[in-house]
Amino acid sequence: MMSILQAKFKLFLRKPMLMIGMTVMSIVFALLLGAANYTTINIPVYTEIENIEETALWKDLTQSQSFEFMPVTEDKAKKMVSEGDAEAAVKLEEDSYKIVVVTETSNLHLLESYLQTFYGDLLLEDKIKEATATSSYIDPDAILEELKEKEKNPLFKIQAASFRGDDAVIIDNQLQTIFGFTLFFVIYTISYNVHNILQERTWGVWDRMILSPLKKWEMYAGNLVYSFLMGYVQVAIIFFVFRYGVGVDFYGGFGKILIVLVPYVFSIVALALFLVSVVKSTQQFNAIISLVSVSLSMLGGAYWPLEIVSSDFLLKVSNFVPIKHAMEGLKAATIYGAPMSEILYPISILILMGVVLIGIGINVMERKNA
């Protein structure tokens, strides 16, 4: 097996453009589309409060990094919403707000949650100041400062959550793009490396190798281990570039995503071996791999989040797609901050898929050549 690996790496050093090209394409696509998706949401705002932009209310409200509030007239705000130029408009009042919408969007809940939190904190401050107004012994500013400190460092912190069981959905467009295109492009790198098994069989290389001291399992293992290493190195390089080169926030789960990638790459190696076992020629493989990779990416949520898919049939079909479970594990490790105990579920599914596909692929290939 080691001799096969050495030969494969020597061939790679002669022709490294496939892996380099796929790696560069993944980074470029993720950068371009991620930058396009990573934008603030414009929200027109109208109010009866005079000089709203000079008030403390406005300064505190515009601290959000997700929303950009624009002061406009009431007529213009409603016109922007009705014509689709804005998802929603907000009427600001001293102690309340009103949201104007035409249709419900995915960002509406985020906007409402932000405003509820903002006005909740604002009203709490007003109540404390009102309650302590008649006392000269109590400093309301000191109380508010103490409350803020307790929010940062609570005495007790109890949390019980499951990224699969919670109704709340968090979509990070930047990470969605990075994860999706990385998982998509690595399919080609792995598949064309595993495809060498078909070429070597067609050219009679395996027949000559069988006459050597090499055993058949070593021939399979050498090719599959090489394909796995090349695929894993590619995805690892991409994530390292985004983590340390671009400065993307992985929510403290960078180490865990490197673990999730191991079973995913293994499952794609197994899938590629299965495809190699069922096709009859290189031309068939080249045709089917493009169809399979694009279909799996669409069904698995690489191009768009599965959270926005409403078809129950497509969601059920996605359970049989490796990309779906890999995306689930990557999002759990980063966006949802899930512990390893919960990430083991998608990992185990990917390992099971890989074992089944490798078993079927080798069995079919040996029957065809018997």
**CATH number for position 116:** 3.40.190.10
Residues 275 and 138 in one domain: no
pLDDT at 27 over 80: yes
Residues 199 and 61 in one domain: no
Residues 53 and 117 in one domain: yes
DSSP 8-state secondary structure symbol assigned to residue 132: T
Residues 292 and 317 in one domain: yes
Residues 226 and 286 in one domain: yes
Residue 46 burial (CB count, 10 A): 21
Query: How does residue 146 score in pLDDT terms, banded at 50, 70 and 90?
Result: low
Query: How does residue 28 score in pLDDT terms, banded at 50, 70 and 90?
Result: confident
Q: Report the Cα–Cα distance between both ends of the chain, in Å, rounded.
A: 22
Residues 94 and 177 in one domain: no
Number of domains in the chain: 2
Q: What is the radius of gyration, based on Cα positions, of the chain?
A: 27
| Per-residue b or e along 138-170, where b marks 16 or more CB atoms closer than 10 Å to that residue's CB | eebeeeeeeeeeeeeeeeeeeeeeebeeeeeee
pLDDT at 169 over 90: no
Count the residues in the chain: 370
Please report the sign of the dihedral spanned by the C-alpha atoms of residue 64, residue 65, residue 66, residue 69: positive
Residue 113 in domain: yes
Pairwise CA distance, residues 170 & 110, whole Å: 10
Query: Helix, strand or coil for residue 365?
Result: helix
% of the chain surpassing 90 pLDDT: 17
Amino acid letter, 231 = G
Q: What is the pLDDT of residues 235-257, one digit of tens each?
A: 999 899 888 888 888 888 889 99
Residues 50 and 138 in one domain: yes
Which pLDDT belongs to residue 150? Answer: 47
Residues 210 and 124 in one domain: no
Pairwise CA distance, residues 79 & 12, whole Å: 59
Residues 31 and 48 in one domain: no
| Per-residue b or e along 12-24, where b marks 16 or more CB atoms closer than 10 Å to that residue's CB | eeeeeeebeebbe
Query: How does residue 130 score in pLDDT terms, banded at 50, 70 and 90?
Result: low
DSSP 8-state secondary structure symbol assigned to residue 245: I
Pairwise CA distance, residues 354 & 359, whole Å: 8
| Per-residue b or e along 250-260, where b marks 16 or more CB atoms closer than 10 Å to that residue's CB | bbebbebbeeb
Pairwise CA distance, residues 325 & 318, whole Å: 9
Which DSSP string corresponds to 178-243?
HHHHHHHHHHHHHHHHHHHHHHHHHTTHHHHHHTSS--HHHHHHHHHHHHHHHHHHHHHHHHHIII
Mean pLDDT, rounded, for 13-40: 73
Which stretch, 6-20, 116-130, 197-211, has highest mean pLDDT? 6-20
Residue 293 in domain: yes
Residue 155 in domain: no
Residues 134 and 28 in one domain: no
Pairwise CA distance, residues 52 & 356, whole Å: 63
Residue 61 in domain: yes
Give me the domain span that covers residue 19. 2-36+171-368
pLDDT at 134 over 60: no
Residues 146 and 190 in one domain: no
pLDDT at 286 over 70: yes
Q: What is the pTM of this model?
A: 0.67
pLDDT at 144 over 60: no
214, with CB counted inside 10 A (0-12, 13-18, 19+), is: middle
Residue 341 in domain: yes
Return the structure tokens found at 163.
């990224």
% of the chain surpassing 70 pLDDT: 78
Residues 263 and 345 in one domain: yes
Under 8 Å between Cβ of 264 and 326: yes
Parallel, antiparallel or unpaired: strands 67-71 and 41-47 = parallel
Residue 161 in domain: no
Q: What is the pLDDT of residues 331-359, one digit of tens each?
A: 989 888 888 888 999 999 999 999 999 99
